[in-house]
Structure 1
Amino acid sequence: MEILLLLIYAGIVWLIFFKFKLLPWNTVTQVIVYIIPVVAISLLILFLNIVAPSSHDVRVLNYNVEVVPTVTGKVIEVPVKPNQHVKKGDVLFKIDPEPFQLKINNLEARIPYLEAKVISAKAYDKELEQQIAAATSNISVIDAQLELAIKREQQTQELATLGAGSKFDYEQAQANLRNLQAQKAVAQSQRLQYLQKISAVSSDGELSEITQARADLEQAKVELREAQWKLTQTVFYAPADGRVVNLQLRPGAMAVQLPLKPVMTFIEDEQWLVALYSQNEIRYVKHGDPAEVALRTYPNHIIKCEVEHIVWANAQGQITASGKLPDTQETHFEEGRFAVRLKVLEDDKDLFLAPGAVGAGAIYTEHGKLIHLVRKVIVRVSTKLDWLVLKLH
């Protein structure tokens, strides 16, 4: 565009000074003729970079997902092909489900056994409580008999001493007393055994055997739910609309649950079209401002856009969190740029934008609309030059 303006200016100068000779061609007029285009074009470019800033770093960015299986197993099916477009929910690959189904079958068979074990432990607990109650009651009866036997033994002893009773009755009372004492010792021993069995109780008052049985049952149920979930993970679905690239997975390969070893890369359709600008170029840029982009993948094609938002942050504004004091010494680095996200308008919404495509573009602010035409001509001339492939081989 600058060359075109210079040619128009040169034509006007030729008409004035050489064709019609309206003014003399001397030193003064020569200096003026040379200074005018330099100053005018310099001012034009300076104002143009403010009211219609351009960027020679426009990029097409896509979200990508490194596909890592959530379970490890042998791949039995890969129904997609490299670079094939798929919809959200389409199957990307399948892992052999048989080992996971066997785990489910094993747990489903084990759970009824553990439930029966819990019931049995509860029944055993009740039986022990009944036995303790019976032993306690037996001891109470024996204590009453002992109290009577002690009195009987004392009475017969006094009578035998006074000659009012027989010695045989006294010996019989002593034998009964020793017998009851032995019965009490046996009853106490039995009650102690029952108490020892029931003494290992949980904080809820349940037998440790019941607690363990219930814990085993709950653990088996959790393992069953986990196994059922893992079975669902043997089929991996597309997380969004997009396409698979770098597809090297084949049936028979082992898909490993390892983040450092993705089995494929999935490129989503959702895109970012961003233009990178120096920090003093976007002072007047606002949401909704019209923009134009020329990508090298589409020579001589202008993509109509509008400003969606400005990403007001870059890496230079970040301080790494650490226990050290911030390093404030002077460092030499280039000024970081800010990204302006552009939204493609309806006319070009269905245009395929290859992830990684680059080009140039411009944003037209609300200021200086009279000179926006200059920027539009520059953008269109630059995209026509994209037809040229400057290689010698």
Structure 2
Amino acid sequence: MEILLLLIYSGIVWLVFFKYKWLPWNTFTQAVSFIIPIVSISILILFLNIVAPSSHDVRVMNYNVEVVPAVTGLVTEVPVEPNQHVKKGDVLYRIDPEPFQLKVNNLQARIPMLEAKLISAKAYDKELEDQIEAASSNISMIDAQLDLAAKRLEQTRELALSGAGSKFDYEQAEANLKNLQAQRAAAQSEKSQYIQRISAVASDGELSEIAQARADLEQAKAELEEAKWKLEQTVYRAPADGRVVNLQLRPGAMAVQFPIKPVMTFIEDEQWVTALFEQNEIRYVEAGQEAEIALKTYPNRIIKCEVEHIVWANAQGQLTASGRLPDTQETGFEEGRFAVRLKLSEEEKGLFLAPGAVGQGAIYTDHGGPIHLVRKVIIRVGTKMDWLVLKLH
């Protein structure tokens, strides 16, 4: 664009000074003729970079998912090919489900046995409760007899001291009281034994029978849910619409659950189109403004876009957590750029953008509308140059 303006200006100078000779071609007019285009184009470019900032670093990026098996097993089927487009939920590979199904079957058969064991333990627990209740009733009955025996002992003692009763009766009452006291101690001991058996934790720290049965059942249920989940993971489905690249998996291979060894890479269709700008270029950039990009994969084509948002962060604004204080010593500092995310206009929605495609672009702010045309011409001239393949072999 600058060259075009210079050519037009040169034509005007030729007409004024040489063809029609409206003005003399002397030192003064020569100096003025050279200063005017330099100053004018410099001012134009300065304002253009503010009201219609451009970027020569436009990138197309996609989300990448490194596919790592959640379980380890023998691969039986890989129904996709490299670079094949798939829909969300399509099967990417299958692992032999037989070992995982056997685990599920084993746990499903084990759970009814543990449930029966728990029912038996609960019945035993109920029996112990009944025995405790019976022992408590027996102790209450013995306590009533003890009260009566104590009164009888006191009466026979008074009668024996006064001579109205026999000493034998007093000794017999005393023996009956001691006998009842022994019976109560035995009944209390029996009740304590029942209580110890029914308690959740025995004296040796091990769970009681009912608590152990309940714990075994809950553990088996948890293991069954885990086994079912692992069985589901033998079929890996596409997490979104996209393409499979870097496909290394084949039937007969062993898929290993190892985070740093993915079996394929999945490229989602969702894309980021970003343009990187210097920090003082985006002062007037706002969401919703018009933008244009020109990618090298589409020479001589202008792709209409719209500003979605500015990513107000870069790596230089990150302070890494560590035990050391930040180093404030001045070093070779280079100003970081900010990314502006763009979205394609409605008429460009169906256009395929290759992940990794690069190019140039510009944003047209709400200021300086008349000179936006200059930026549009520059972008269009630049994309025509993408037809050239500049290499010697």
Q: TM-score range by the shorter chain?
A: 0.7 to 0.9
CA distance change for structure 1 residues 377 and 182 in 2, over 3 Å: closer, same or farther? closer
**Structure 1 residue 336: Cα displacement:** 0.7
Whole-Å separation in 2 of the counterparts to 1:200 and 1:24 = 115
1:14 aligns with 2:14: yes
CA distance change for structure 1 residues 222 and 10 in 2, over 3 Å: closer, same or farther? same
CA distance change for structure 1 residues 232 and 20 in 2, over 3 Å: closer, same or farther? same
Structure-to-structure mapping, 1:136-285, within 5 angstroms: 194=194, 197-198=197-198, 201=201, 208-285=208-285
**Structure 1 residue 330: Cα displacement:** 2.1
- Give secondary structure in 2 for the equivalent of 1:222: helix
Q: Which amino acid aligns with 2:372?
A: H
Whole-Å separation in 2 of the counterparts to 1:193 and 1:51 = 91
Hey, what does 1:48 align to over in structure 2? Answer: 48
**Structure 1 residue 21: Cα displacement:** 2.1
1:58 aligns with 2:58: yes
- Give secondary structure in 1 for the equivalent of 2:292: strand
Structure-to-structure mapping, 1:233-382, within 5 angstroms: 233-382=233-382
**Structure 1 residue 321: Cα displacement:** 2.8
Q: Unpaired segments of 5 or more residues in structure 2?
A: 157-165, 167-174
**Structure 1 residue 323: Cα displacement:** 4.2
Whole-Å separation in 1 of the counterparts to 2:104 and 2:349 = 48
- Give secondary structure in 1 for the equivalent of 2:218: helix
Compare 83-92 and 2-11 and name the one that shifted more: 2-11
Compare 70-79 and 333-342 and name the one that shifted more: 70-79
CA distance change for structure 1 residues 126 and 333 in 2, over 3 Å: closer, same or farther? same
**Structure 1 residue 332: Cα displacement:** 2.4
What does the per-residue CA deviation read over 1:116-148, in whole Å, with 9 as the maximum and x for residues that have no partner? 111111222233344455567678889969x98
The TM-score, its normalising length taken from structure 2, stands at 0.84
- State the identity %: 78
Structure-to-structure mapping, 1:70-109, within 5 angstroms: 70-109=70-109
Q: Which amino acid aligns with 1:259?
A: P
- Give secondary structure in 2 for the equivalent of 1:28: helix
Compare 176-185 and 265-274 and name the one that shifted more: 176-185
Q: Which amino acid aligns with 1:97?
A: P
Q: Unpaired segments of 5 or more residues in structure 1?
A: 156-164, 166-174
Compare 251-260 and 37-46 and name the one that shifted more: 251-260
Whole-Å separation in 2 of the counterparts to 1:70 and 1:103 = 16
Whole-Å separation in 2 of the counterparts to 1:200 and 1:287 = 65
What does the per-residue CA deviation read over 1:310-346, in whole Å, with 9 as the maximum and x for residues that have no partner? 1111111222233443333323211111111111112
- Give secondary structure in 1 for the equivalent of 2:366: coil
Q: Which amino acid aligns with 1:73?
A: G
Hey, what does 1:169 align to over in structure 2? Answer: none
What does the per-residue CA deviation read over 1:76-116, in whole Å, with 9 as the maximum and x for residues that have no partner? 11111111111111111111111111111111111111111
CA distance change for structure 1 residues 185 and 341 in 2, over 3 Å: closer, same or farther? closer
Whole-Å separation in 1 of the counterparts to 2:294 and 2:57 = 11
Q: Alpha carbon RMSD of aligned pairs, Å? A: 3.4
- Give secondary structure in 1 for the equivalent of 2:300: coil
Whole-Å separation in 2 of the counterparts to 1:176 and 1:43 = 124
Paired residues, number: 381
Whole-Å separation in 2 of the counterparts to 1:16 and 1:4 = 19
Compare 130-139 and 316-325 and name the one that shifted more: 130-139
Compare 121-130 and 26-35 and name the one that shifted more: 121-130
Hey, what does 1:122 align to over in structure 2? Answer: 122
Q: Which amino acid aligns with 1:253?
A: A
Q: Which amino acid aligns with 2:289?
A: D
The TM-score, its normalising length taken from structure 1, stands at 0.84
**Structure 1 residue 179: Cα displacement:** 11
**Structure 1 residue 49: Cα displacement:** 1.0
